[in-house]
Amino acid sequence: MLDVRSLRNDLDGVTAALARRRDESLGAEVATAAALDAEVRALNTERDQLRSRINALSQQVGALFRDGRREEAEGLQAKSRALGDRERELDSAAETKATELRSLLLVIPNVPHPDAPDGASDGDNPVLTSGGPAIDSYGEAQRVPHWDIGAALGILDTERATKLSGAMFSLLRGPGATLSRALTQYGLDLNADAFVEVRPPSLVTSETLTATGQLPKFADDAYHLERDDLWAIPTGEVPLTSMHRDETLAEAALPIRYMTATPCYRREAGSAGRDTRGMLRSHEFDKVEILALTTPEQAPAMFDELLARALAGIAGLGLTWRTVDICTGDLGQSHHRSIDIEVYAPGADAWLEVSSVSWFSDYQARRANVRYKADGGGTQLVHTLNGSALAVPRVWAAILESYRQEDGTVSVPEPLRPYMRGMTAIEAL
């Protein structure tokens, strides 16, 4: 959430910064928010002035009663009651306007970082770096989509998954399930040197989902258990960010680093008909997440660290990869700066996003009220950053396609073999 003080002190600057997102509605929303803030402050000022007058009248009334001047006292009492009615009206009006202001601020996106490239959509995202095998190095054996490979090996059963849960769910069997678990453990072990592992709940409150920006704007993309007013987490970032909600941390404790492996649940309401085959887009999937809470000064270095860690995990698997700088028009609502890691899937002949490293500045922390006590005195909001260290299904898919052999088996990448119960290759069940 934006700092309302920035609207008071630099409305033109905020408007210009948000214009880089290429959303024409944002200018009007920011102007409305600034106007609402001015109304709230004016109402509060008038209310506070009335309170002072009421307090002064109360003192006069008391003195008049003590002096026996009852008629005068009762006259002032009547005037005080009328002012009290007006005070309550102003207080209610201010509360209503403040609620409107907060509701609007909850849907206005974060200001892009100056280094975020300008652009209107994902087609404008520049490629920063790349590595791994050349795209044209993959042979005919690798030009088979993973859904066909998985079906032939008996390790991916989309028909039974659909029978159990409907479309866009997966059922993995035998070595397929083992490979999925191996990827999860691999992602966690890579970061265990500096990140504390957390196993959070998979169901969270509306307040928790609001803190990271999924609510209220993206409610249609989330699974809601209405009876209990709980939401299935769309990413491990959601519970990790709120672990310190409404807390004030010591500056010496920062940065705080967490990691988690969780199931993630997304309705994917806006993706009907896109990438629905196999494991490319699922309503439920596993993901390893790394997250940090920092001071503003620590944030740039932490952003670089999270990116380096996520990239090391992907590159270590021997896949073809590239990093993509997310342009202003493609940034998520809460994002200040984002870089994605994509892998090439030769069977699908497509680049798949498998990791996203993001810096949210103090946008999420303001929503969650996570602060730290600065060594020099006073409190400030932390900065939050996270990295999808490894999105399991798409990496799983890229491995099946990239490591498929001429005989139809799939070689297991060396870093995953310690987690595969001795398997070096995946053969048909």
Write out the DSSP string of 228-283. Answer: TTEEE-SSTHHHHHHTTTT-EEEGGGPSEEEEEEEEEE---GGGTTSS-STTSS-S
Q: Considering only CA atoms, which of 410, 1, 364 is closest in space to residue 212?
A: 364
* Percent of the chain whose pLDDT exceeds 90: 91
More confident residue, 375 or 164: 164
The pair of structure tokens assigned to 243 is: 């672990």
Q: Is the pLDDT of residue 341 over 90?
A: yes
More confident residue, 15 or 74: 15
Question: For position 273, what pLDDT does the model report?
Answer: 54
Query: How big is the CA angle at 314 (ends 308 and 317), to the nearest 5 degrees?
Result: 135
Question: For position 272, what pLDDT does the model report?
Answer: 55
Q: Is the pLDDT of residue 256 over 80?
A: yes
What are 164-203's pLDDT values in tens digits? Answer: 999 999 999 999 999 999 999 999 999 999 999 999 999 9
Q: Which residues, other chains included, contact 359 with Cβ-Cβ below 8 Å and sequence gap of 6+?
A: 113, 299, 300, 302, 303, 335, 336, 337, 338, 383, 385
User: What is the separation of C-alpha 334 from the centre of its chain, rounded to a whole number of angstroms?
Assistant: 6
Helix axes of 175-191 and 299-315: crossing angle, nearest 10 degrees: 150
**CA-to-CA distance for 92 and 371, rounded, in angstroms?**
29
Q: Residue 421: how many CB atoms within 10 A of its CB?
A: 9
- Are residues 294 and 383 in contact, defined by beta-carbon separation less than 8 angstroms? yes
Question: For position 205, what pLDDT does the model report?
Answer: 98
CATH 1.10.287 in the chain, residue ranges: 4-105
**Pairing between strand 248-250 and 371-373?**
parallel
- Residue 46 φ/ψ, nearest 5 degrees: -65, -40
Q: Is the pLDDT of residue 69 over 90?
A: no
pTM as predicted: 0.94
The pair of structure tokens assigned to 82 is: 């009328």
The pair of structure tokens assigned to 135 is: 């795209």
What are 74-132's pLDDT values in tens digits? Answer: 888 898 899 999 999 999 999 999 999 999 999 999 999 999 999 999 999 999 999 99
What are 279-307's pLDDT values in tens digits? Answer: 998 999 999 999 999 999 999 999 999 99
Q: What is the CATH number of domain 122-426?
A: 3.30.930.10
CA 52 → CA 46, 86, 233, distances in Å? 10, 13, 48
Q: Considering only CA atoms, which of 330, 329, 326 is closest in space to residue 338?
A: 326
CA 29 → CA 24, 105, 193, 312, distances in Å? 10, 9, 44, 41
Question: For position 269, what pLDDT does the model report?
Answer: 61
What is the SS3 assignment for 108? coil
Q: Is the pLDDT of residue 352 over 90?
A: yes
Question: For position 118, what pLDDT does the model report?
Answer: 98
Domain range 4-105, CATH class: mainly alpha
Q: Which residues, other chains included, contact 283 with Cβ-Cβ below 8 Å and sequence gap of 6+?
A: 165, 168, 169, 265, 266, 267, 268
Number of H helices, E strands in the chain: 12, 16
Starting at the edge strand that comes first in sequence, how are the strands of the sheet with 203-205 ordered?
Answer: 203-205, 230-232, 224-225
Peptide bond into 112 cis (omega under 30): no
What is the SS3 assignment for 339? strand
Q: Which residues of 339-361 are buried (b: 16+ CB within 10 A; e: fewer)?
A: bbbbbbbbbbebbbebbbbbbbb
> Max CA-CA distance within the chain?
108
Average pLDDT of the residues of the chain: 96
CATH 3.30.930.10 in the chain, residue ranges: 122-426
Q: Considering only CA atoms, which of 319, 279, 274 is closest in space to residue 146?
A: 279
pLDDT-derived band at 271, boundaries 50, 70, 90: low
Question: For position 74, what pLDDT does the model report?
Answer: 85
Q: Quick one: 332 exposed, middle or buried, by C-beta within 10 A (0-12, 13-18, 19+)?
A: middle
